Chain A
Amino acid sequence: QKEVEQDPGPLSVPEGAIVSLNCTYSNSAFQYFMWYRQYSRKGPELLMYTYSSGNKEDGRFTAQVDKSSKYISLFIRDSQPSDSATYLCAMSVIQGAQKLVFGQGTRLTINP
């Protein structure tokens, strides 16, 4: 069983829809949670990060963490064609050297 599980999709939705991307994890020591966005044939870029349970908003993006269920989500409101990319969740423990554990990535397409 992988430490981090993410539905690889692909996920295709119409422009303007609300998108929900999810990851589950098994290691309760993970305390630092991130979402990266990766456009085709490019390197990933950090979208959001959070340490605590609850919600964190940044414009059209909301990151949600439920540590009791070992479940994290990324919501995209008013989705745009430019949001079409692969979204990767990543997480790490808080101590020691950083070793990120990534989910498989979800490929998202927003249709105009």
Chain B
Amino acid sequence: DGGITQSPKYLFRKEGQNVTLSCEQNLNHDAMYWYRQDPGQGLRLIYYSQIVNDFQKGDIAEGYSVSREKKESFPLTVTSAQKNPTAFYLCASSIQGVSTDTQYFGPGTRLTVL
């Protein structure tokens, strides 16, 4: 089956800890994205990558970091610098990352800070 997987589905973190969210795709897509979804606010772009070893900040990158060492993988680290990290995190991918691509989403990871 082709698709995007995210793990874990639920994640709990203590304040002051870094945590890494996994995103893997086997669609052979070049572009990958990370969004954050909060109630009543829609999706906001954290980081995106159009090609391996290259990525750009989105609208709310502060307190987050990413890497893109492999085409299939785009992990997101939520650092202790992110002041309000409790949210639903969605990873997406598209064929090339051009403006008319369709973005396909993973099932999401719900992060809760205790």
Task: Give residues in A with beta carbon < 8 Å to B.
Answer: 4, 6, 8, 32, 41-46, 49, 51, 88, 90, 92-100, 102-105
Contacts and interface: CB of A to CB of B under 8 A. Distances in A.
Tell me if A's interface is mostly helix, strand, loop or mixed.
loop
Contact of A102 (B42, B97, B104, B106): B42
Interface of B: 4, 31, 40-45, 48, 50, 56, 58, 90, 92, 94, 97-108, 110
28 contacts: A8-B40, A41-B108, A41-B110, A42-B108, A43-B4, A43-B90, A43-B105, A43-B106, A43-B107, A43-B108, A45-B105, A46-B102, A46-B104, A51-B100, A88-B42, A95-B99, A96-B99, A97-B48, A97-B50, A97-B98, A97-B99, A98-B101, A98-B103, A99-B45, A99-B58, A102-B43, A104-B42, A105-B40
A102 B41 CA distance: 9
A98 B99 contact: yes
Contacts, number: 65
Contacts of A102: 42-44
Given A49-B102, A96-B98, A98-B31, 18 more contacts: A6-B42, A32-B100, A43-B90, A43-B92, A44-B105, A88-B43, A90-B43, A92-B99, A97-B50, A97-B97, A98-B98, A98-B100, A99-B48, A100-B43, A100-B45, A100-B103, A102-B44, A103-B42
A77 B58 CA distance: 36
Contacts of A94: 99-100
Contacts of A6: 42
Closest 4 CB pairs of A and B: A43-B105, A102-B42, A102-B43, A104-B42
